A and B are shown apart, each in its own frame.
Chain A
Amino acid sequence: MTIIEAILLTVITASTPLVLAALGELVTERAGVLNLGVEGMMIMGAVCAFVATQLTGSPYVGILAGILSGALFSLLFGFLTLTLVANQVATGLALTILGLGLSGMIGESFVGVSGIKLQPIVFPLLSDVPYIGPLLFKQDIIFYLSIAVVIGVNWFLFKSRAGLRLRSVGDSHASAHALGINVIRTRYLAVMFGGACAGLAGAQLSLVYTPQWVENMSAGRGWIALALVVFASWRPWRLVAGGYLFGAVSISQLHAQAFGIGIPSQFLSALPYLATIVVLILISHNRRMTLINMPASLGKPFVPDR
C-alpha cells in the first residue's frame, strides 16, 4: 500500500461522519427547519451504537441503534419546534447540550471498555483493482451507506415528486400549505431523517473511527457538519466535495507535520478551515446562485391557520 492510498483511507474514515451528518441536516434545512442539535444527535448515536454493540456483540445491531436513537432524539426537537412552535435555534442548542449530557450518563459504565470494530465488507473482484479497489471496495457498511444516502438524497430532492414537495415546504410553507401539502408532517419526516443520519454518523465514530466510548467524543464534528451545509449551498454533491475536502486537508496536514516540512503546526491545523473559507469565497462570488439554493423559509416557524 502506498502512502497516498494510506492517506486516502484515513481521509475516507475522517470524512464519512461529516458527510453523513451534513446530508441529514441538508434535507432538514431543505424542508425549512434549522436544527442546530446535530452534535447532540450525533453523540447520542455514538453512545447508543456503542452500548447496543456491547450488549449484543453485533455492530450491525449497533448501527441500527445509532440510526434509531438519532431519529428518536430528533423527534424531541420536532415536537418542540413543530408542534409547540418553540424557537428552533434555542431548541437546537438545548438538544446539543442535552445530548452531550445524556450520552455521558448512558455511556458511563462503558468508558474504557474496548470496542468491537465494524469489519469491512470486501467485494471479491473489485477490491483487487489497483488503487481504487482497497479504497472503495474494502470499506465498512457505513461508508457504502453514506454513498447510497448521497445518491438517494440527490435523486429524492431533485428528481422525485416527494422531494419537490419537501423543497416547496422549505421555500414557502404558506404556499405549500395552500396547495394542500401537509407542512408539519413533511417537516417531521425531514427532521427525523436528519436525526437518523446524524445518529448513523455517530455510530461511525464509536464503531469505525475510534471503536470506543468516551464522553464528548464527537468533539465538535456536528458543528462542522452544520457549516458544511451552508458551505455546499444546500446541494448534496457540493456537500460531499466539501466534506472530503475538509477531511483531506485535515489529514494531509498531519502527514505534512510527520514528514517534517517545517511549517508551523498552528498554521497547518488551521488549514482545513482556511481552505473552507477560500472555497466559500470562490463559490459565493455569485450571490444570486447561493440565494437561489437557500430555502426561503429556513428557520421560520409555521402555524397553520384553522
Chain B
Amino acid sequence: MKKLIFALAATAAVLGFAVQASAQEKAKICFVYVGSKTDGGWTQAHDIGRQALETALAEKIETQFLENVPEGPDAERAIERLARSGCGLIFTTSFGFMDATVKIAAKFPDVKFEHATGYKAAPNVATYNSRFYEGRYISGQIAGKMSTKGVAGYIASFPIPEVVQGINAFLLGARSINPEFKIKVVWANTWFDPGKEADAAKALIDQGVDILTQHTDTTAPMQVAAERGIKAFGQASDMIKAGPETQLTAIVDTWGPYYIKRTQAFLDGKWETASSWDGLKDGILTMAPYTNMPDDVKAMAQATEAKIKSGELKPFTGPINKQDGTVWLKDGEAAEDGVLLGLNFYVEGVDDKLPQ
C-alpha cells in the first residue's frame, strides 16, 4: 500500500522536476526527510538547516526535498529519483537511509551523497553526525538533580548506536549526581507517531517516573509531561512551546553551518568524502535555554556544558562498566569514536534489555 502511494508521489515528483529542468543552471542540492518538515523535532531541524543553506548561497544553488520518505526499500527509489533528476549533492537525513544511500551512490558515481548519523562511507558518500550524547549527558545531570524519585523515563525509537549512546550518556550524567539513579526505557519502534509517543509517555509516568526524556521526533511526550505536571527534555528542536513550564532544556540540532560548508566545497569542486562528527563546541549541537529549574542546577548545567565544549569533560570516560558488570573503560580512558559509532551495548545501571 505504502509502495503504491509512494510510487504515485514519486511520479508526481518526477513530473515536477521535468518542468523545472529547463530553468536549471544553478546547482541542485537535495534532501531526503524521514518525517514531515514541520514535525517540531528532527526533520524540522534539518529543514531549518536547508533554509539556512538556501539563504546563504541563494545565487548559486536551489534546494529540493522529499518529505515523509519511509526507511527501507522505498528510500532507494526516492534517492534514485533525486539522483536521476539532476541533484548534484544529496543529503539523506535519517539513519535508516544508510544502505539505500550507499547502494544508489554506487550507481551514480558523479553525484555526491551525504548520509546523516550512519557509518557506511564511499568515495562519493560522506557521513555526518552530531555528538547528541554530549547534550544528553547534561540532560542526565539535570535529571539527577531534579528528579525526586531518582527515576527517569526514556522514550526510545530504534536500537541504533546514536540512540544507545544517548541512553548511556543520560544515565552516566544522572549517576554522576545520584549514583542510585534509574531509567526506564520504552522502545516505541517508530520515529514519528504522536499517539504512540504519547502512550509511551503515559505508560512511563503511570509507572512512577517523574522526569521524561525522548528520542522520538514529535512534541507529544512533552505535551503529556506538561499535562501530568512533570518535567521533560526536548529532542532535536526546542520544544518549549509544547511545554513552557515543562521543558528543562532541549538538545537542538543546528545543521545549517554544516550544510553551507559542504555545499560550498561541492561548488568549489573540493568536495571529498569525509566522516564529520562534531558536537557542542562546533555549534552543530546547542542546548535550548535552561528553564524551569533552580539557579544552582542551571549553573551546574552551564558549567558542564562549558567543560564539554573545552574538551575537559568527555562523557564516555572511564571508569565505566558494561551492563553485565565487565570493564569497558578503565579509569581515565576515553571511548574511541569507532566504538561509539557502533555502540551496541549498555553501560552498567541501565535497567533494560537492549533489543538486538
A binds B: yes
B123 at the A/B interface (Cβ < 8 Å)? no
Query: Do A114 and B241 have beta carbons less than 8 Å apart?
Result: yes
Give B324-337 as 1s and 0s: 1 = Cβ < 8 Å from A's Cβ atoms: 00000000000000
B192 touches A258 (CB 8 A): no
* Chain A interface, DSSP helix/strand/loop, else mixed: helix
Which positions 183-227 of chain A face chain B at CB distance < 8 Å?
Answer: 205, 209-212, 214-217, 219-221, 223
Contact A260 B9 (CB under 8 A): no
Assess whether B52 is interfacial by the CB under 8 Å rule. no
Which residues of chain A have C-beta atoms less than 8 A from B218's C-beta?
A: 210, 214, 217
Contact with B199, one of A111, A112, A250, A264 (Cβ below 8 angstroms): A250
| Distance A10 CA – B242 CA, assembled complex (angstroms) | 20
Q: Is B219 an interface residue (CB 8 A)?
A: yes
How near does chain B come to A139, taking the closest CB pair, in angstroms?
15
A3 to B202, CA, bound (A): 11
**B242 adjacent to A214 (CB under 8 Å):** no
User: By CB atoms of chain B within 10 A, which of A117, A216, A257 has the most?
Assistant: A257
Complex: A257 Cα to B38 Cα, angstroms? 30
Q: Please tell me which one of the listed residues B5, B206, B352 contacts residue A6 in the complex, with CB atoms under 8 A apart.
A: B206
CB of B189 within 8 A of CB of A266, answer yes
> When chains A and B are docked, how far (Å) is the Cα of A196 from the Cα of B116?
42
Report the nearest B residue to A111, measured CB to CB. Answer: B38
Contact call B195/A260, Cβ cutoff below 8 A: no
A219 adjacent to B187 (CB under 8 Å) = no
Contact yes or no, B36 A258, CB < 8 A: no
Q: Mark B28-41, 1 if CB is under 8 A from A, else 0.
A: 00000001101110
Interface membership of A97, Cβ < 8 A: yes
A119 vs B188: C-alpha distance when bound (angstroms):
27
Q: Does B304 contact A (CB under 8 A)?
A: no
Closest to A255 in B: B203
Tell me the bound Cα distance from A258 to B38 in angstroms: 29
Assuming the A-B contacts A7-B206, A258-B153, are A266 and B355 also in contact, with contact meaning beta carbons closer than 8 angstroms in the complex?
A: yes
The yes or no answer to A141 lying at the interface (CB within 8 A) is: no
Q: Is B200 close to A, CB under 8 A?
A: yes
Q: Which residues of A contact B189 (CB under 8 A)?
A: 265-266, 269
Measured between beta carbons, the chain B residues less than 8 angstroms from A104 are 36, 38
Asked if A130 CB lies within 8 Å of chain B CBs, one says: no
B8 CB-CB contact with A under 8 Å: yes
In the complex, which residues of chain B have a beta carbon less than 8 angstroms from the beta carbon of A262? 353
Q: Which of A210, A221, A258 contacts B186 (CB 8 A)?
A: A258
A190 to B262, CA, bound (A): 56
Q: Does B280 contact A (CB under 8 A)?
A: no
Contact present for B185 and A257 (CB under 8 Å):
yes
Cα distance, A215 to B36, chains bound together (Å) = 6
Q: Mark B195-221, 1 if CB is under 8 A from A, else 0.
A: 111111011101101000000001110
Enumerate 24 A-B pairs (CB-CB under 8 Å) in ascending A order.
Answer: A3-B206, A6-B206, A14-B195, A112-B40, A112-B242, A113-B241, A209-B194, A210-B194, A210-B218, A212-B219, A212-B242, A214-B220, A215-B68, A221-B195, A223-B1, A251-B199, A254-B203, A257-B185, A258-B184, A258-B200, A258-B203, A258-B207, A265-B187, A265-B189
9 additional A-B residue pairs with CB within 8 Å, beyond A111-B38, A217-B194, A251-B199: A214-B38, A215-B36, A215-B68, A250-B199, A257-B203, A258-B200, A260-B352, A260-B353, A262-B353
Which 3 pairs across A and B sit closest by C-beta, in order of nearness? A215-B36, A265-B187, A6-B206
